[in-house]
Structure 1
Amino acid sequence: MELQVLGCSGGVGDGLRTTTMKLGQEILIDAGTGVGDLTLEQMTDLRHIFLTHSHLDHIASIPLLVDSVFEHLHEPLTIHALDATLDALRTHIFNNVIWPDFAALPHPDRPVLRYQPMQPGESRQVGELQFEMVPVNHVVPGVGYIVRNTRRVFAFSGDTTTNDTFWARLNQLDRLDMLIVEAAFPDRDIDICRRAGHYCPSLLAEDLLKLRHRPEIYISHNKPGDEDEIYDECRRVITTHHLNRLSAGSRFTL
């Protein structure tokens, strides 16, 4: 199973895409602007989207994705997310004002979009992969995911700041091979991080001290223009773990 990073930036610009990760041919974790780099055939193959939260940079491509493959779908595209996240999609996006309600099209009995609520702590099996939803600390209800198969375990923090829930659950695992975690701002913006529910390097360093595992760590979700500053600060203050910079186009074998 291949994990392909289609987008991992905290914004857009030349070569920058927002959070989108593709697992195999059928699964996305979040659906930011990185979806737009897929071919029509690749988009048609998608069957599941696991969302971390409702912010635009993580859901932006869902309306256009569904519209682009509408005529080619023979079974619904399923969105797995918190009730609050699904309610936000229904109320603010697929409301027949911003975009058609594809959960009722072409017919309420045969929709091309299906909402599947998940609760923190719940696990869901898709093929050989198991997805476990873990609560995190963001300004809107948010989660991370632990993804397992018989060989590997990786975790994705989603958008979060200082918390205990994510790290406590990771410590309960027998193994953790890879962790993708956000660091949205440099330390000079620590007040913004606290208000906006994000990590900066010093806040992330404090929370990583809680982690008993030593996975490969990939830093994600940097604000455009601040990438080098954020990564350099992370390497300075995080000395207990091996750090890597995540980039769009990265591929990992699970």
Structure 2
Amino acid sequence: MQLRILGCSGGIGGANRTTSFLINDSILIDAGTGVGDLSFSALTRIEHVFITHSHLDHIACLPMLVDTIMGSRNAPITVYATETTLNVLKKHIFNWAIWPDFNKIPNAKAPFMRYSLLELGQSCCIDQCTITAIPAVHTVPAVGYKLDSGKSAVIFSGDSVCNTEFWDIVNSTENLSHLIIETAFSNREYELANAAKHFCPLTLLEQLKFLNRPAQVLVTHLKPADSELTMQEILRDHSNISISRLEQNQIITF
């Protein structure tokens, strides 16, 4: 399996793209602005979209994706999320006021997009990749995802803070190769990070003490204004854990 990082920034501007990861050619994890850099041909090959939560930086390109490729596929795009997140998409995005309801057109029996409920802890096996919704703690109901090829696994925290259940899953994943974990703010924004339920270096490094198995730790969701400072603060104070910055267009083989 290949995980291509289409976007991993906590903001936009210049080359910054918000969260979206592509597994092989057909599976998206979140649909942030990074999706917009794909060619039309690549967009038509996307069949499944797994959403961590309803915040705009993680769903911004989903409406445009469906609109762009409608009629160019023989099957609908399937959007997977928890019940709460699906309800937000239905009520606030695909509601005819903001965007058409592609779950109803061209007709309800053969729509351009369909929803698939994914409960916390539930797994889907698609193209030999097992995708499992795992716990996350954010300002809205959210999940992370474990991506397992059978050979190795990548765990993505989504937007989240302190969460013992998350670390239980991380530490019980024997074939874990990469841990992608968010840190949005620098330490000078400590209070804001706590209020927004994001990590800053101080809280990230405190949480990483719970990691008890080897893995490459990749930091994502850095806010553009302080991205360099935030990574400096992480790398200055981390112990013997292998930590680096997740990069746009990076490819992780797992």
TM-score > 0.5, shorter chain as reference? yes
Contact 1:175 1:213 in 2 (8 A): no
**Counterpart residue number, 2:240:** 240
Q: Could you say which residue in structure 1 is the equivalent of 2:59? A: 59
SS in 2 for 1:41: helix
Aligned to 1:106: 106
8 Å CA contact 1:52, 1:143 repeated in 2? yes
1:65-87 CA-partner distances (Å, limit 9, x unpaired)? 10000120210101111111110
How far off its partner does 1:248 sit? 0.8
Give the superposition deviation at 1:2.
1.3
**Distance across 1 between alignment mates of 2:236 and 2:83:** 39
Post-superposition offset of 1:108: 0.5
* Aligned match of 1:12: 12
Q: Identify the residue that residue 217 of structure 1 maps to in structure 2.
A: 217
Q: Which amino acid aligns with 1:139?
A: T
Give the match's secondary structure for 1:71.
Answer: coil
In the TM superposition, 1:85-100 aligns within 5 A as 85-100=85-100
Partner residue, 1:135? 135
1:161-209 deviations in Å (ceiling 9; x for gaps)? 1221211111122231101110000011111111101000110111111
Question: What is the alpha-carbon distance in structure 2 between the residues aligned to residue 142 and residue 226 of structure 1?
Answer: 25
- Residue equivalent to 1:38: 38
Aligned residue for 1:226, secondary structure, equals helix
How far apart in 2 are the matches of 1:226 and 1:88? 30
Letter in 1 for 2:126: V
Q: Is contact 1:5-1:249 (8 Å) kept? A: yes
Q: CA RMSD in A?
A: 0.8
CA distance in 2, matches of 1:167, 1:37: 33
Counterpart code for 2:8? C
For 2:2, the equivalent position in structure 1 comes to: 2
Give SS of 1:159's match: coil
In 2, the alpha carbon distance for the partners of 1:226 and 1:21 equals: 23
Deviation at 1:152, TM superposition (A): 1.1
Percent of pairs with identical residues: 39
Aligned counterparts, 1:141-180, within 5 A = 141-180=141-180
Q: Secondary structure at the match of 2:70?
A: helix
1:92–1:98 contact (8 Å) kept in structure 2:
yes
Gaps of 5+ in 2: none
Amino acid paired to 1:33 = T
Q: Could you tell me the TM-score, scaled by structure 1's length? A: 0.98
1:88 Cα deviation from its structure 2 partner:
0.5
**Residue type of the alignment partner of 2:174:** D
Q: Following the alignment from structure 1 to structure 2, what is the Cα–Cα distance between the partners of residues 221 and 88?
A: 22
Runs of at least 5 residues in structure 1 that lack an aligned partner in the other structure: none
Contact 1:161 1:193 in 2 (8 A): no
Asked whether the equivalents of residues 178 and 217 of structure 1 are also in contact (C-alpha less than 8 Å), the reply is: yes
For the residues of structure 1 that align with 2:69 and 2:14, how far apart are their CA atoms? 26
- Distance in structure 1 (CA, Å) of the matches to 2:252 and 2:165: 26
Q: Which residue of 2 aligns with 1:125?
A: 125
* 1:228 maps onto 2:228 in alignment: yes
Q: Following the alignment from structure 1 to structure 2, what is the Cα–Cα distance between the partners of residues 64 and 211?
A: 38
- Structure 2 counterpart of 1:228, which letter? E
Q: Shift in Å at residue 47 of structure 1? A: 0.4
CA–CA distance in structure 2, aligned partners of residues 227 and 61 of structure 1: 23
Aligned residues: 254
The letter for the 1-side match of 2:46 is L
